[in-house]
Chain A
């Protein structure tokens, strides 16, 4: 029997045994759906807890300082602009790197907001990637190339009148070089910008490197004059990847980078991470990975048993039909093929619906207990594969078994 014919016959059998088909699909929906719901709930719980613990992003700070000295933390190194745009580009190419954020100081003479002039030594030039959307109390990050600025809360408070997003402040870059910048956003209190440590108390004013950062160096790799920074923040895509990023980044910066050639001979490039935090978060992540795997395997098992049960009962109830088919000339292969196609159709319909139901269920449950919704798609794939696979095996096994004996035995089945 050709495949088209068996698809046609199987579809006919599915619509013919409507209640049985609906129940079987329901079995698959519940099986696949519960796996996806529980895994989504676990992943969301993980995201919530990591979010609470992770007060900063998975960052690695790169600085230069005297060799042999203590590893220079952020800000402690001398401000030698050695990291070029070329270095940034190269670092961005490393697997697992989410962003490379340069920081540098731009010396200024003063600031003015509504006739209130303050003498101020410098603003911090960086890129928009250094801010998270949820770090802002007001407004958002600045746009590269625009006359915009971002203030931390201390900076917003240091004028006579509080500054908020949308206001304009005047920055006196040099004598006779004043520019009016729009405040794109004000950070919230809890934000600790790891790269400059500009959290709570000290006022910090951030401007985009383009166009305000003007310190340059000749890049040995390209021969061009490029912007050069005293410090870079290498942000990993996740906490798990911090370790994987750190090695290649260190190798590159120490051996091949422009920085390794621009720095004084007695200095070396050092990379710093918040080891305690990274370790703690990695611990949480591995605990949760085990936890999610556990609930996924259990719900997969429960789901698989449910699916197998529905299929086995449904096909066994049709033993007589298998007897009839064999009696009128169906080979065992024909019978198995029919039930295979039928199981695939039911399994796929059930899996698709189960995925939708599972996603909706996981989403609703996470929302209900106020978790940030987070998905674990690899488990969706496993749930669907197991759902369809178990459906097929438990669908064709009884058919194959019934088609093995004399038709009269199958016909006698009640």
Chain B
């Protein structure tokens, strides 16, 4: 396993950085936020990302994708974390692409994957039901009636839930509320009768929705994977999603840190730039150390996906744990070290604090992954 990028991966990262800094700097995010853009992202920017091939990075070549791997995808997410770029890449390019690649039958792959690659389809995963990530706590029911299923229940914190054409729903077909077995995944068109979508306004303006399913009827051909066996697919998909979001969090923390470092070198008080004060220097040095550890963890986790490591689960938890802890530390310190301007809306640093707290909630916070790591390590 190499922990540095190869030439191809480095060039993808460079291109992503250049593209995002030019076409989607933080001012772009502010514009989407301040105009209360209904879609929550810019359609033409998304088309350009699609043209760069980003939506197909995790899709196999036989379905029109580029099979470029998680290391490549991670680099893009890291750069998007730096620019706070709004886009459906996470819900579609990571969640949708891996759900269908790992769980879909041949027909579903043929049907959906090329459309993910060409940008004509956006997807969402309707999983969570509580206030905290708990992937198998599912009470949304799917009852079989002949060749059809009827789905009823309520989902929350569905990333890009209001702007996706296709929703993957995790519903219970058997067992009780917390069982891993008995969960089934369904592919549901967003415009199906009985679906009520409410866009939620998050503190960081990230796209998210609550979705109600009221006797939504789907054909059994819309089953993703086998009945009652959804948890196995979910787990594999969640590992990848956790790693991608960790990469975004690394970018978020790195940018907040860089901005703070610049500020420490320019803001003067007591006749010196504040970066000369040891009370701030040591804290900056600790943040640097944690960022280095986080970078290695994310890189190793991306590698673990590409190399099909049998330790993938723990690596995913390592990445999400470190990214969460470090992002928490760095965004808090970044605001503090900016003094009064740090708590203004005009300065960007507060945007990173808000984004950090929302990404922390996505698919398990640090405590969740700490516990998961210990359990997987058999203690």
Do A and B pair up? The answer is no
